[in-house]
Amino acid sequence: MKKPSSKKPPAADSSRDTRPQIRVGLLEGYEKISLRVNGPFAVENLKGETLRPMAPSNLKWRVRVEETVPSQFIYSVLVTTFADKEEAIALAENLEKEGSHAYVRSLGNPVEVQGNILRDNTRYRVQVGNFENSDDAEELLELFMDDYAPRVVRELMRRVTGKVEFFDAKLEESWVSDDGVRIIPADLTVETKIHSVRVGTGFRWETEEDRSYSGIVEIRLDHDGKLSAISEVPIDVYLRGVVPSEMPAGFPHEALKAQAVAARSEVLAKLHTKHLNDPFDVCGTEHCQVYAGVTQEDPRTNEAVIETSGEVLMRDGILMDAVYSAVCGGHTEDAARVWASPPINAAEGIWCTLHDDLKKIDLTTEDGAREWILSKPKVCCNIPAKLLPVAPDYIHRHFRWEVTYNRAEFEKIIARNTGQDIGTFYDIIPLERGVSGRLMHIEILGSNRNLKIKKELNIRRALSPTMLESSCFIVDIQLDEEGLPVEITLSGAGWGHGAGMCQVGAAHMAVKGKTYQEILTHYYRSSTISRCYSLPTSNDSCE
């Protein structure tokens, strides 16, 4: 076993590249990781000391855990989040008067790119309680269910410690390092292939595949004392792996460019607000944006990233929270209504159409939502297959959809997903819909208890073995002779939260000759496109 050297290897990026560097969480919870690097690379420990000098190797390398002590957390109930500190303090004081131990936690920082502040991501959480385990915090949730969409959060008190071993397949080279190692490629053309990466965990398409990544790859202990991997790359390299993972590369070029600008805006807007306990900025899953590294790269989406490099969406001089979804169903949703922690400077819901003669229904009403969902209006995301032959089944399967459960099956789904035994299921009462018709608040009626659920994602998770296509749905119940439910049918519209740009709608607009600028200003009203950084002097680090 060799001792570390204090000599630093050449970095994967140069001082000329001042673009934002994005740290992406690729995977976690692995007992061991196998990888191969296709060019010269060095290995550092997490202190920056050289373990292995820069050199090529055609061998497979492995990382395994030697010994660990897991991270320690405290748990509390996050009631809600504000952008304004005084509002947060006022709510905490009111909760204190009602007998809850409430307090305010600040999080986030300004987002600065090449010397310019694009937005201030400082937010204020109102939290209740401090517990050593999550179960105690869970017991408090019901106190706030009627008025908020509370959830249990954890704060890191002591980070995981331990040792990992990095060694080659022939056992000729081996190092033991505290907490993790960093694989430093000679340049961004050198790729690290990680074998058997779990993809789509929790979804019906869950599988394993080998994935390759440019840039620095960090293998380190996760909070449970198992192995995780992090990719550290310039933002445009990150986007080359995001855009084809979030939008089919066969979509029209102007739609791909719109996706690149939205994804760039989105990752910058989310800096300092997600994964606050983790040593990375964003994860590589649907929770943030899907990042498949080099594996999914396509020349068409790479071109879209390069052609729009540095471009982001701004409104009133502030970077927009440019969320997007696959198929809105005909009307996008107010982004501020979707999440428990409302986005800053977010898009409002609009009709997904280029036609002025579309019959515009009030989708916040039950009659309006039913009429809308059971129709197939001429909107952008209802595109004829001949105009967009890339994925016709994908589009029509998600524009309008239907699922049916028997009562016993539905009761088990609700109990498993919510942790609440409602007894015999009776009905679902819609309490609030957003402008797109998406349900934001429902009450499930049962013989043991009634259960209220707020926010569209919570609703989608509660009523499906995996996740409902969207929360824009209506409920039809078939009753038996005694008036008890036999079958429950949910008929719905769209796929995803529906806020911001509708990706299929963007593709339709591009087919009709709209530019990416026109697409973006359609879905993100009153926005402008600004360039917030420039490419490095040499494009070697980008292309």
pLDDT of residue 14: 40
Q: Give residue limits of the domains in the chain.
A: 21-70+160-307, 72-158, 321-526
Residue 537's pLDDT is 64
What is the residue whose two structure tokens read 């995301």? 381
> Across residues 56-85, what is the average pLDDT?
94
State percent of the chain over pLDDT 90: 82
The mean pLDDT of 184-191, rounded to a whole number, is: 95
Residue ranges of alpha helices (H) inside 389-443 are 392-399, 407-418
**What is the pTM (predicted TM-score) of this model?**
0.91
Q: Average pLDDT in the 76-87 region?
A: 94
DSSP 300-337: HHHHHHHHTTTEEEEETTEE-B--EESB-SSB-B-HHH
pLDDT of residue 78: 96
**Residue 308 to residues 105, 234, 237, 254, 267: CA-CA distances in angstroms?**
37, 15, 13, 11, 15
The average pLDDT across 84-105 equals 95
Q: How confident is the model at residue 205 (pLDDT cuts 50, 70, 90)?
A: low
More confident residue, 305 or 287: 305
pLDDT at 468: 96
How high is the pLDDT of residue 542? 38
pLDDT > 90? residue 342: no
The mean per-residue pLDDT over the stretch 185-192 comes to 95
The pLDDT of residue 405 is 97
| pLDDT averaged over every residue in the chain | 92
Environment class of 525 (CB within 10 Å of its CB; exposed 0-12, middle 13-18, buried 19+): exposed
pLDDT on residue 25: 96
At 219 the pLDDT is: 97
**Per-residue pLDDT, 206:** 73
pLDDT tens string 312-327: 999 999 999 999 999 9
What pLDDT, on a 0 to 100 scale, did the predictor assign at position 543?
42
Look at the domain 72-158 and name its fold: Alpha-Beta Plaits (3.30.70)
Tell me the longest C-alpha to C-alpha distance in the chain.
80
Start-to-end C-alpha separation, the chain: 37
pLDDT tens digits, residue range 207-222? 889 999 999 999 999 9
Which pLDDT belongs to residue 355?
Answer: 86
pLDDT higher than 60, residue 152 = yes
Closest-CA residue to 495 (of 384, 382, 411): 382
Backbone angles phi and psi of 228, in degrees to 5:
-130, 165
Helix (H, G, I), strand (E, B) or coil at 159: coil
pLDDT at 9 exceeding the cut of 50: no
Mean pLDDT of the 231-240 span: 96
More confident residue, 389 or 246: 246
371's tokens: 């009429």
CB 540 within 8 A of CB 188: yes
User: At 102, is the pLDDT very low, low, confident or very high (cuts 50, 70, 90)?
Assistant: very high
Determine the residue type at 228.
S
Can you tell me whether residue 267 is helix, strand or coil?
helix
- The pLDDT confidence band at residue 204, using thresholds 50, 70 and 90, is low
* Best CA proximity match to 60, nearest among 221, 172, 214, 176: 172
Model confidence pLDDT, tens digit, residues 421-469: 999 999 999 999 999 999 999 999 999 999 999 999 999 999 999 899 9
Quote the DSSP letter at residue 88: H
Round to whole Å and give the CA distance between 137 and 78: 10
pLDDT at residue 11 in the model: 45
pLDDT of residue 1: 54
Once rounded to an integer, what is the mean pLDDT over residues 257-273? Answer: 96
CA angle centred on 321, ends 517 and 334, rounded to 5°: 95
For the segment 510-542, what is each residue's pLDDT rounded down to a tens digit? Answer: 999 999 999 999 999 999 999 999 877 654 443
Q: pLDDT digit string (tens) for 345-366?
A: 889 999 999 988 888 999 999 9
